[in-house]
Amino acid sequence: MKPLKVGLIGCGAIGQAIAEFLAKEFPQRARIAYVCEHQPQKLEGLCKKLRIHPQPENLKTLVRQSDFIIEAAGVSAAGEAAAYALKLHKQIMVMSAGGLLTDQRWCHEIKKSRGYLWVPSGAVAGLDGLLAANEAGLKRVKLITRKPPEALLGAEYFQKKMFPRLSGTKPVRVYRGSAKRAVRDFPQNVNVAAVLSLAGLGPVKTQVEIWTSKGFRGNTHEIEILSDAGEIRVILNNVPSALNPKTSALAFYSAMALLRRIFSSTRIGT
């Protein structure tokens, strides 16, 4: 069996790490054949590190020619890539789940597609319980995220509002609202909110709170799920990723776990 031709959208730190994982773990099942990357130095770095020579392509050409697509470029590319891949009945794994909320053209395409949309759990646990609770009848899904100030600086939300004054280690709530608005205003910080929305009540009904403090060191996510089957509460204290300090290390490891699930013959869990 010939290995699947993989198209990689985005050669940043996450994209390169995923490519390395595939090359190491599944060399007979998949190979990076095409790449979409606007910064030549990043593509050169990937080719040098893995000793490969993928064809540089634009997004649509990459999708047309690939058997399996991996999006690791950011929210601005996720929705377009997913919609086009599903239109052509392809398989695509989307890392930037927030882009699936801001650009929902893929919702129309997936209804008639023979393709597959894969979304890693990211920096969240308990998705199996949420999916089961959704079948039972969901009543409420709430995410409380706690991050250090430096992880929130630069968010679009603070282009319109002043960053709060922090006194000592006292926690300050900087946002409360729907996941839909949170993904728009904090696109680099609340991928968890997007994943929960896709698995549960949707972006409008999923509630989000974001807190910060000088005393916070890592990323903490507290998830509250209420359904007719009972109540689920999950708390994660995540270490920031060495690849991107604005996200959690668990986000990358969940991508590895999903790829292992896709390319291996073992299926464990919901």
> Exactly one of 38, 53, 89, 221 is catalytic; which is it?
221
Alpha-helical segments (H) within 116-199: 127-136, 149-152, 179-185, 191-199
According to DSSP, the residues that pair with 234 across neighbouring strands are 223
On the 0-12 / 13-18 / 19+ scale of CB atoms within 10 A, 123 is buried
State both tokens at 128. 């199996």
CA-CA-CA-CA torsion sign (192, 154, 16, 65): positive
Q: Which helix (H) or strand (E) holds 207?
A: strand 207-212
Judge whether 178 and 204 are in contact, CB under 8 Å: yes
221 labelled catalytic:
yes
Rounded CA-CA distance 102/169 in Å is 34
Residue 175 C-beta-side C-alpha neighbours within 13 Å: 32
Rounded CA-CA distance 133/81 in Å is 30
Q: List the catalytic residues.
A: 221
